[in-house]
Structure 1
Amino acid sequence: MTRGDAKSVRKDYGLPDHGCASVTFEDNMPNDITLDAAVRSAVEEFLAVGIPSPQVDALLLAAHVLGIGRGELAARLVSGDTLTREQLDRLAGYVARRVAREPLQHITGESGFRQLVLDIGPGAFVPRPETELLVQMVVDAVLASGQASPRVIDLGTGSGAIALAVASEVPHANVWAVEKSPEARAWAAHNNEKYGGIVTLLAGDLATTELLLGDEVGTMDVVVSNPPYIPDDAQPRDPEVRLYDPAVALFGGADGLDVIRQVASVAARIIAPGGLVAIEHGELQGPAVRKILADAGWRNAATHPDLTTRDRYTTAVWSA
């Protein structure tokens, strides 16, 4: 990348320009590299391999190395702070991993989700920003119900993101979460402990949900799920998803709807009269999901858009 290209990068991504050239992460680098130069170098490396959010990733990795927040990082970038050799080596290692398309969340070990900071790593599906809107639908429904102790269950909780977000934002709710993968469940258990054990975590799959709930069957006010919904013969476009997210959290059978069919059926057996089911799915699957829910006895099925206007969520009401 030329000097002119580097200046363009700084302009496009809002990085300060102190008149110094960018650097590359090499073993013979000097020991007095500025934080600004190191971040700019990371941005350029990420741009070269098509990382979708090069500036954000570079800044977050630098902040992680330094153990500081984005605000303090911005101040240090402007003031011309330098990195120690140890800090530079750590950043270089993180940049190399990100260039190889390892998810940023695996490198830093955490993932922001609504007001939570979840610990995350291999074996668990990395929570997505669009799922935050699914949580908002659940929170709104629970609060609107006016119930003193609403009951919510998250089917296939993964890292615990949905269940923990609901439980933390609606403290008077009783929240359960079901997960069959031992690896993902370990992350969910860790995050649940981190936030004070506010969720009842159950080890099992959809087929055993009723057995796990016992006397609570038929009492759930909301059933929520972000199940696997990619068709088995489809390949996720992003390497971070294709190479690192667990396949069991991605693929949902020949048409991608097998697990959603199970969710619709199981939810109908554990829901209370008047209860709500809320499911995340692919943007073209809304009509099929509505039919699945109707066939399972659900009523008033409606599909809702995400913030980019893609149809990503379907809700329905149980009125047996």
Structure 2
Amino acid sequence: MTRQPLRLAILEAERVLAAAGVASPRTDAELLAAHLLGVERTKLMMVPLVDPPVVRELEELVRRRAKRVPLQHLTGTAHLGGVTLNVGPGVFVPRPETELLLAWGLALLEGVESPTVVDLCSGSGALALAVAHARPDAAVYAVEVGPAALSWVRRNADQQVAAGDTPIRLYAGDVTDPTLLMDLDGTVDLVLCNPPYVPEGTPVPPEVRDHDPHEAVFGGRDGLDVVRHVVGCAARLLRPGGGVAIEHDDTHGGSVPALLSARRVLTDVEDHTDLAGRPRFATARRAQPQS
């Protein structure tokens, strides 16, 4: 059995993915090869030759990726804040842009001992688990309504506990419920949320259209159906000085800050851009009581 150069297999994979319209064909080809070989992407150069069965397996993964199956569904994992998450059909795949929202939240918690954190619309549990990983002293609540997504959160939470992280507290709940987590009213240091926010009818890539749950992506006609409830829930949950960060569509750079500003108890409203300079998430603080 003649071994074959991995470099040539990756070049062919890149060609196939580029022809299929995949946005980052070289990166995806290398990540699929690294997944298959069980090595870091940066270590691929240390595997110059592979057996023909490995090439065939890579070709099969590339064929599926060329059909726009999400890369993360093929590898089975996604990453956020130093945490590796299991993902697949039935749950929203975390995006790199959410790292910025996470960083804002963790910065807010600096100097706060044993903070209480709530992750609304938790999906795979990405934000909740990333906070628990970074702040083992935190009490972290993850709220999710979708049965399929809840099963992914439980799996990820169990994995993180096995890895030594602090357990999170998982709630099957709907952010539109005005009694959600009522026992925490006025006590929460940080509320994070990556809700469904894409306006209905907006064209999205096949990976999103065909594989992310529709209810985790689209937020009604203007994309704000769920966000409006998130703002109200956060205003109720936060303690004075506590903060909220809500990811949003790049068309919401004015509307989400306006929703936050409309709540008299919220102050210091700001909008933040992603690495491409697009409006991406809005933040606010719960006002301190007047002395």
Q: 1:177 deviation in Å?
A: 0.7
Q: Tell me whether 1:220 sits opposite 2:185 in the alignment.
A: no
TM-score by length of 2: 0.92
1:142 matched to which residue of 2?
109
* SS in structure 1 at match of 2:176: helix
Higher helix content, 1 or 2: 1
1:302 matched to which residue of 2?
270
2:176 matched to which residue of 1?
207
1:156 matched to which residue of 2?
121
Quick one: structure 1 residues 293 and 276, their matched pair in 2 at CA, closer, same or farther if it must change by over 3 Å?
same
RMSD: 1.6
Structure 1, unpaired ranges of 5+: 1-29
Q: 1:296 deviation in Å?
A: 2.7
| In structure 1, C-alpha distance between the alignment counterparts of 2:190 and 2:31, rounded to whole Å | 35
Alignment of 1:172-211 (within 5 A): 172-196=137-161, 198-208=167-177, 210-211=179-180
* SS in structure 1 at match of 2:256: helix
For the 8 Å contact 2:271–2:283, the answer to whether it is kept is: yes
For the 8 Å contact 1:149–1:173, the answer to whether it is kept is: yes
1:125 matched to which residue of 2?
92
* SS in structure 2 at match of 1:207: coil
The letter of the residue matching 2:190 is: V
Alignment of 1:42-57 (within 5 A): 42-57=13-28
| In structure 2, C-alpha distance between the alignment counterparts of 1:84 and 1:112, rounded to whole Å | 30
Q: Tell me whether 1:290 sits opposite 2:261 in the alignment.
A: no
For the 8 Å contact 1:220–1:270, the answer to whether it is kept is: yes
Structure 2, unpaired ranges of 5+: none
Q: 1:31 deviation in Å?
A: 5.8
| In structure 2, C-alpha distance between the alignment counterparts of 1:126 and 1:110, rounded to whole Å | 9
| In structure 2, C-alpha distance between the alignment counterparts of 1:131 and 1:59, rounded to whole Å | 23
| In structure 2, C-alpha distance between the alignment counterparts of 1:42 and 1:209, rounded to whole Å | 50
Q: Tell me whether 1:229 sits opposite 2:194 in the alignment.
A: no
2:46 matched to which residue of 1?
75
TM-score by length of 1: 0.84
Q: 1:69 deviation in Å?
A: 1.9
2:12 matched to which residue of 1?
41
> Which of the pair has more CA radius of gyration?
1
For the 8 Å contact 2:176–2:226, the answer to whether it is kept is: no
Count of residue pairs the alignment pairs up:
283
For the 8 Å contact 2:185–2:238, the answer to whether it is kept is: yes
Q: Which deviates further from its counterpart, 268-277 or 64-73?
A: 64-73
| In structure 1, C-alpha distance between the alignment counterparts of 2:101 and 2:247, rounded to whole Å | 7
Q: 1:89 deviation in Å?
A: 2.5
* SS in structure 2 at match of 1:210: coil
* SS in structure 1 at match of 2:131: helix
For the 8 Å contact 1:221–1:271, the answer to whether it is kept is: yes
| In structure 2, C-alpha distance between the alignment counterparts of 1:296 and 1:216, rounded to whole Å | 19
Q: Percent identity?
A: 43
